[in-house]
Amino acid sequence: MSSDRIKSGDAPGRDSRSYGMISRVTLTGSALNLFLALMKIIAGKLSGSMALVADGAHSFGDLISDAAVLAGVKIASKPSDDSHPYGHGKFETLAGIFVAFLLVGTGGGIAWSAIHALINDVQSFTGETVIVVAAISIAGKEWIFWVTRSVGKKVRSPAVIANAWHHRSDALSSVAVLLGGVGSLLGWGHADQVAAVVVAITIVLVGLDMSWKGIDELLEVSIEPKFVESICELIHLHPQVRNFHALRTRKVGNEIFVDVHILVDPDISVAQSHMITEDLEKGLETRLSNPVNFLIHVEPDVPELRK
């Protein structure tokens, strides 16, 4: 006897509450980015600080990141349909990868400009205005980084978490501007460029890490080992499951998909096997914080099927 048990509503998409949280924090970040971008560019023009103008352009780039996140999560929130039976979660993953690539590009651009200035012995001597504006930017972007990352972790969104790190990259680039301003006041004309190179390397490394994780998800690698171990432990502990095999896991957006074959007493009824799968599903939903979709194949525990 064998039967398949798959949870109904395989990929329901994000609920309205989590999407609302993502929308609010992303739009808040967009408003902050617009304000900071205008402030930096105006102050940079008035003070003659090329670094501050470039930092303002970076903040405008964050607006593109915000738009990508909103678009990706909006599409990912749609429930499954005939053409996307596993839901639209990969669009959220794509949005996260796009933001990660923006991070790499941003870091590379900052490094290129700074190194070019160093090679050409360009020195910057800016005033106190640059330091004040940079400090305001650091405070604002650090605040929105922590808020956005908190929401991203709560709703398990790779795109939102990537966008949080994009906010952090803007804060780090403002740190470079601030250090450059302090260095220029102390008489060191290359302080801004040297600090920018260090910050740029950090931004690129974060972007590469985020993009690699996103690509892994697109390639449908297994979920984290600690979660796989938790699934195995739960199945082993069920008193009516004698063994299991063919366990497979993967992520689609913020959802986890679990496929497994369980071996049970060959003499139990279909209704009893159904109850076993229900018990396993409830237990897995409790252990895993992400939304979980199951395909549990029930097999009789006979010698020829034992693994």
For β-strands 255-264 and 243-252, DSSP reports them as: antiparallel
CATH of the domain at 115: 1.20.1510.10
For residues 111 and 151, state if they share a domain.
yes
- pTM equals 0.62
- Tell me how far apart the alpha carbons of residues 92 and 157 are, in angstroms, rounded to a whole number: 8
Q: Residue 4 — very low, low, confident or very high, per pLDDT cuts 50/70/90? A: very low
In this structure, are 87 and 204 located in the same domain?
Answer: yes
Split at pLDDT 50, 70, 90, the class of 306 is: low
State which of 190, 218, 246 marks the end of a domain.
218
The answer to the question of residue 5 being in a domain is no
Task: Based on the fold, state whether residues 39 and 162 are members of the same structural domain.
Answer: yes
Ramachandran category for residue 77: left, alpha or beta (phi over 0 → left; psi -120 to 50 → alpha): alpha
Q: Which is it for strands 243-252 and 292-300: parallel, antiparallel or unpaired?
A: unpaired
Tell me if 195 is assigned to some domain. yes
What pLDDT, in 10s, does the model give residues 113-123?
778 878 887 77
pLDDT in tens, 17-27: 777 888 888 88
pLDDT at 140: 93
Q: How would residue 232 be classed by pLDDT, with cut points 50, 70 and 90?
A: confident
Contact partners, residue 83, CB within 8 Å, separation at least 6 = none
Tokens, residue 229: 């171990």
Last residue of a domain, one of 218, 252, 281: 218
Please, what sign has the CA dihedral across residues 112, 113, 117, 118?
Answer: negative
d(CA 87, CA 18): 16
**Helix, strand, or coil here: 89?**
helix
How long, in residues, is the chain?
Answer: 307
CA distance to 54, 76, 148, 168, 300, per residue, from 204 (Å): 17, 27, 20, 12, 52
User: Which structural domain range is residue 260 located in?
Assistant: 222-305
Residues 104 and 165 occupy one common structural domain: yes
Of the two residues 298 and 166, the one the predictor is more confident about is: 298
Q: How far apart are CA 221 and CA 99, in angstroms?
A: 21
Residue 162 belongs to a domain: yes
Mean pLDDT, rounded, of the chain: 78
Total domains in the chain come to 2
pLDDT of 170-218, one tens digit each? 888 788 778 877 887 787 777 767 777 777 787 788 788 878 877 877 7
Task: Kindly state the tokens that stand for 277.
Answer: 């799968």
The residue among 199, 218, 237 that closes a domain is: 218
